[in-house]
Structure 1
Amino acid sequence: MHGRIKVRTTEEQKALKHKEQQKKLTAYRMGMQQILSTRKEDNYDPVSLDICTQLLSVNPDIYTLWNYRKEAILIEIEKRSVKLLMVYIAVRKNEIDGEDNIIKFLENEFRLTEQCLLANPKSYGSWHHRYWVLMNHPKPNWENEFSLCTKYSRMDDRNFHVWDFRRLLINKIGITLSEELQFSTERLNANFSNYSSWHYRSTLRNLDRESVGTELILIQNAVFTDPADSSAWFYLRWVLSNPTVTKDRRQELLDAFGQLEELEPDCKWVIMAKCWLTGSLVLSDKDYIDRRVQFYKQLAKLDPMRKGQYEDYLKAAELNASHVEDQKS
């Protein structure tokens, strides 16, 4: 009928999609064949490098293509370094011109990686290539890279690639430990459900008695805000593995989590944390062992999908309890 838009049937849509996929696959195969056929140790083909750029813009996770670009960069750096060496004595200015040319070549790589990261912010190849280019750049702009981290953190503050990249940069630009801890705290206060930020804190310093207290306060704020979120609980387990966490601190946490359990009786993480705490306390204290047995029974009810795991833990706890009894008798 005139004036009506024709809507394709499901079969027509499938056929059209398949045709488009085949077209892209053919172009990809032709591009890869062109690149691999011109891959040489002593030179590279500019046309193949352009094709490489196009393919990575569509799919930035092809490691072979990133390696090809690294080879091209090294060839270009070596080639231009030889030219500089030949003209260095005659004309000092040529050294500057040659360095500028290399910088322009590497700046194109930065633009490509940023384009790829906009398409896929969690592309391993793109982040690795960007840092590799920075390490081979005669005048790397570390401050600019740090700004890039801030940009991508705002897009997704749980993108662990950004946090890893940031950790590589802080030593280059002289940021202090206190500044980074403050930044991490600010990000966590904005969103406690941030595994990457919690993990980042664990890489910044070795905990002592004073810093353990600071971390435990932050953790309690997080778990009381959202007890069901697992990120802070996992960080708690890491903090509890530190030998500077005293028995008194563990008992304080047990008391605090007892209050939280009254508010959230069906939250398995509260009970799980109690298991970690009582397992780390004096094992010869029968009261703690008996309580741990009770905690595992609660977990088996609250989290039936992992019932078998809790029952295994329960058997170990009961065995430990009977062993303590035998020692007393």
Structure 2
Amino acid sequence: MSPWISCTLDKDKPDMPFNIEDYKDIEPLPITTGLPDELCEIMYTDNYKQIMGIARALVQKKEYSARALQLTSEVIGMAPAFYTIWNYRYDIVKWQMETHSNVPELLNNELSWLDEITLNNPKNYQIWSYRQSILKIHPSPSFKLELPILQMMIDDDTKNYHVWSYRKWCLLLFQDFSNELSYTDTLIQRDVYNNSAWAHRMFVLKSTAPSGNDINDEINYVKEKIELVPQNISVWTYLRGLYEYFRKDVYDEEIIKFAETFTNNVFDLKTLENLPPVESSYAIEFLSFVYSKNEATQYKSITGYKALSEKYDPVRVGLWDHKIKRIQQGNRAI
């Protein structure tokens, strides 16, 4: 028998209210083993067992129909991480595309349905994977249509890894980076500690072709944020990334002097007794790395790492001791 089983429901109108009577011809498959020696039997409700049982039966039959699509909505509402049902829904949507009168509208409706699911399940991996799959088969996908849900999700949780990953994927798909720097600036102004926004900003720069002047402007931008909050690892990591990727890891005298203003002359001390307060331990870490690159300044690097070990960042004493040992063994730029 062909797996392409039709149904009396109109496949151009899949958004019909769920009615269990539409599946009365389906014998639900069991969702439990029924074994007497199960370590921990899950106490499913009768309704859950019935709907999941019907879903298992339809998947096994490979029924692609409007009622099957409607059932996937019901199942996903109950178990949004059920990846088998997501795959099944995807197959049904592809079946609909074969004869649907307006495929872009069909898929846009699917994305709209997905928006509602996403808002209730912000950190569900399957949702974002499914969204990618729909865009890949969309004949005319639109980045503009993706932006509202991305905005809502980031507003809800500015560090949601799944959303940021999906946004990066969209940028690569649509090759539209035009608004990303201003977008990250908005988030950074809201929270200068937002490492996700800083990481995304670096991704944008590395994915485009910024000019030398663009990078100069970017260095000045991050310097302003450092002056605002010197003790912020995100900005110092970003600054180092700019030099690593766009300045061939060569640090000019100007940036060195800038970083030194936050260290209270720690690198010039003859002894590490009674270390003074500093504005930023991350400035010390940044400069210790820079000084380690040149044999003539490696003694300063050791001074910085010892200061971090003894006072400014003793939690990572093992890391600092390792870096000192590497320098003493002749390894640079660590």
| TM-score, length basis structure 1 | 0.71
- The question of whether the paired residues in 2 share the 8 Å contact of 1:289 and 1:320 is answered with no
Match of 1:313?
323
2:292 corresponds to 1:290: no
- Give me the identity figure in percent: 20
In structure 2, how many angstroms separate the alpha carbons of the residues matched to 1:236 and 1:246? 11
- The question of whether the paired residues in 2 share the 8 Å contact of 1:35 and 1:51 is answered with yes
User: What stretches of structure 2 of length at least 5 have no aligned partner?
Assistant: 1-41, 265-275
Instruction: Map residues 257-272 of structure 1 onto 2, 5 A cutoff.
Output: 257-262=259-264, 265=278, 267-272=280-285
Root-mean-square deviation (CA, aligned residues, Å) is: 3.2
Instruction: Map residues 163-312 of structure 1 onto 2, 5 A cutoff.
Output: 163-170=164-171, 175=176, 177=178, 179-204=179-204, 205-206=208-209, 208-242=211-245, 244=247, 247=250, 249=252, 251-262=253-264, 265=278, 267-280=280-293, 283-285=294-296, 288-301=297-310, 302-312=312-322
Structure 1 residues 49 and 176, CA gap change in structure 2 (3 angstroms): closer
- Structure 1 residue 233, shift from structure 2 partner: 2.4
Deviations 1:217-237 (A, max 9, x none): 222222222233322222223
- Structure 1 residue 73, shift from structure 2 partner: 1.2
Instruction: Map residues 55-70 of structure 1 onto 2, 5 A cutoff.
Output: 55-70=75-90
Secondary structure of the equivalent of 1:189?
Answer: helix
Structure 1 residues 253 and 115, CA gap change in structure 2 (3 angstroms): same
Instruction: Map residues 98-113 of structure 1 onto 2, 5 A cutoff.
Output: 98-100=100-102, 102=103, 105-113=106-114
Amino acid at match of 2:315: M
> Alignment length, in residue pairs?
276
From 44, 54, 58, the equivalent of 2:74 is: 54
User: What stretches of structure 1 of length at least 5 have no aligned partner?
Assistant: 1-20, 81-97, 324-329
- The question of whether the paired residues in 2 share the 8 Å contact of 1:146 and 1:169 is answered with no
- Structure 1 residue 248, shift from structure 2 partner: 5.7
Structure 1 residues 59 and 304, CA gap change in structure 2 (3 angstroms): farther
Structure 1 residues 176 and 170, CA gap change in structure 2 (3 angstroms): same
- The question of whether the paired residues in 2 share the 8 Å contact of 1:223 and 1:229 is answered with yes
- The question of whether the paired residues in 2 share the 8 Å contact of 1:35 and 1:49 is answered with no
Structure 1 residues 48 and 270, CA gap change in structure 2 (3 angstroms): same
In structure 2, how many angstroms separate the alpha carbons of the residues matched to 1:307 and 1:174? 43
In structure 2, how many angstroms separate the alpha carbons of the residues matched to 1:72 and 1:248? 56
- The question of whether the paired residues in 1 share the 8 Å contact of 2:243 and 2:250 is answered with no
Amino acid at match of 2:303: Q
- Structure 1 residue 58, shift from structure 2 partner: 3.9
Structure 1 residues 252 and 103, CA gap change in structure 2 (3 angstroms): closer
Structure 1 residues 169 and 319, CA gap change in structure 2 (3 angstroms): closer
In structure 2, how many angstroms separate the alpha carbons of the residues matched to 1:312 and 1:195? 26
- Structure 1 residue 77, shift from structure 2 partner: 2.0
Instruction: Map residues 63-82 of structure 1 onto 2, 5 A cutoff.
Output: 63-78=83-98, 80=99
More helix by share: 1
Deviations 1:172-197 (A, max 9, x none): 767464x4323333332332222222
Secondary structure of the equivalent of 2:59?
Answer: coil
- The question of whether the paired residues in 1 share the 8 Å contact of 2:215 and 2:246 is answered with no
